[in-house]
């Protein structure tokens, strides 16, 4: 077991290089199951979720070499359509292999996914689509078992709820189809677009016909390629909060400013000064924080994955702020830990009311999920005294070298082993 210890109050300075996107890498890694030729992926973050997905792909017939942030992926002569619980239980992205497996074998057995305890994330929309295109799906002892039953010449599917994961499953399961597939009301997060770009580069024919609608014309085979994973916009947003909460200027490099516009706009509204240096870099110049009312919504709205980080910052905004969580119903678990540090936050249903205060006090706290973990790190950077964060394995799932990056900028932060 490990924990993070922070002595709050240190100013930050310098620059931080943002890693590749975890949430882009995972579906693209799943997509490699569709391709028999060699694939090279660059800018892949070295985090636990990626290593878990690599292990999963290796059990499904891939051979993967990792060197720094580059993955070389080739096929073996031992493919499989069985994704075991042991390799899917820790991350919800494990369900994404079901689409490629069905496309390749017309059958799949995939464990129901795990991940963070942020609320129900059922796979019903995934299965609704698979049923529509001709698969019989059963849940047997914690596994989704799917088999091909029929096919249609043309398929049109409307997503009853915008879902990133279900959109990715629909795309991945349709790439090798001989039928034309139309998807309506899809998620358009940058990570979904990155997956589409990867697949089109490999030979798929995916075209948008409206903002949230596209048509997929499948092909028989996809070709190998070299591909650069997009920067992690949530990591970039997290370090923007680190700059603001410590009242310290920081430069962020290896970003995509276009992908960050929705986050930047909100940060400007609460008083941050953000200077765009190029399309790949920016500088955060903190200002006086103002309260705000906001809700999390699908892209291009404010992302649920930035909700906890924003809350840690709004603790110090003058007045009363409100965050409405419209994506996951259980994503306020970090509030109890922030309250242990002195935050004044009230929860009613899916709304959090944050009453601005002047300071937090260091305390023993416990991480409940990935973004809650980093929210507590951000609070610890500015809290008076020592903050100890337990159960940091959540952080290791999604942030590459978080402690090292902050330490290099002047934070008094370290990881220690505990019994």
Catalytic residues: 116
φ, ψ of residue 280 in degrees (nearest 5)? -120, 5
Q: How far apart are CA 39 and CA 303, in angstroms?
A: 30
d(CA 229, CA 247): 31
Cα-based distances in Å from 96 to 20, 245, 320, 405, 416: 19, 36, 40, 30, 34
- Are 187 and 298 within 8 A, CB to CB? yes
User: Is 393 exposed, middle or buried (CB count within 10 Å of its CB: 0-12, 13-18, 19+)?
Assistant: middle
* Residue keyed to tokens 């260091």: 362
CB 391 within 8 A of CB 366: yes
Q: Return d(Cα 247, Cα 241) in angstroms, integer.
A: 10
Residue 185, token pair as written in the block: 């009301």
Give dist(CA 93, CA 381) in Å, integer.
Answer: 30
Kind plus residue range of the DSSP H or E element containing 238: helix 233-245
Residue with tokens 């009453």: 355
Burial of 141 (0-12, 13-18, 19+ CB in 10 A): exposed
Quickly list DSSP for 282-316: EEEE----B--EEEE-STTS--GGGHHHHHHHHTT
Q: Find, among 180, 183, 284, the residue nearest to 236 by Cα.
A: 284
- Kindly report the backbone phi and psi dihedral angles of residue 58, in degrees, each rounded to the nearest multiple of 5, phi listed first: -65, -35
Tell me the three state secondary structure of residue 335: helix
Distance separating alpha carbons of residues 330 and 389, to the nearest angstrom = 20
């Amino acid at each position: 077991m490990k924990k993070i210890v922070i002595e709050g109050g240190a100013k930050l300075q310098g620059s931080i290089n943002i890693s590749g996107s975890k949430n882009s890498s995972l579906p693209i890694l799943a997509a490699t199951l569709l391709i028999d030729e060699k694939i090279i992926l660059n800018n892949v973050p070295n985090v636990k979720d990626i290593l878990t997905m690599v292990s999963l792909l290796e059990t499904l017939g891939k051979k993967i070499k990792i060197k720094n942030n580059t993955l070389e992926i080739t096929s073996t002569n031992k493919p499989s359509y069985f994704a075991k619980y042991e390799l899917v239980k820790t991350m919800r992205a494990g369900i994404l292999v079901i689409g490629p497996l069905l496309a390749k074998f017309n059958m799949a057995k995939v464990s129901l996914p795990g991940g963070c305890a942020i609320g129900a994330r059922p796979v019903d929309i995934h299965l609704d689509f698979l049923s529509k295109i001709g698969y019989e799906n059963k849940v047997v002892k914690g596994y989704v078992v799917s088999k091909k039953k029929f096919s249609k010449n043309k398929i049109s599917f409307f997503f009853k709820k915008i879902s990133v994961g279900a959109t990715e499953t629909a795309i991945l399961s349709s790439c090798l189809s001989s039928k034309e597939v139309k998807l309506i009301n899809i998620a358009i997060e940058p990570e979904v677009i990155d997956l589409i770009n990867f697949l089109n580069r490999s030979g798929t024919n995916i075209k948008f016909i409206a903002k949230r609608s596209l048509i997929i014309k499948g092909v028989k085979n996809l070709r190998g390629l070299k591909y650069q994973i997009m920067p992690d916009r949530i990591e970039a947003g997290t370090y923007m909060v680190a700059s603001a909460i410590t009242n310290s200027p920081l430069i962020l490099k290896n970003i995509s400013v276009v992908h960050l516009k929705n986050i930047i706009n909100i940060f400007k509204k609460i008083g941050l000064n953000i200077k765009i240096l190029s399309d790949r870099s920016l500088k955060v110049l903190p200002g006086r924080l103002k309260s705000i009312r906001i809700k999390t919504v699908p892209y291009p709205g404010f992302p649920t994955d930035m909700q906890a980080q924003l809350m840690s910052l709004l603790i110090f905004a003058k007045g009363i702020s409100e965050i409405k969580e419209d994506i996951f119903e259980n994503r306020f678990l970090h509030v109890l830990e922030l309250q242990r540090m002195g935050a004044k936050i009230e929860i009613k249903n899916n709304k959090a009311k944050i009453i601005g205060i002047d300071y937090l006090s260091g305390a023993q706290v416990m991480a409940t999920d990935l973004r809650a973990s980093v929210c507590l790190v951000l609070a610890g950077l500015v809290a008076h005294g020592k903050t100890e964060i337990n159960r940091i394995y959540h952080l290791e799932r999604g942030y590459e070298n978080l402690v090292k990056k902050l330490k290099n900028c002047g934070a008094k932060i370290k990881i220690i082993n505990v019994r």
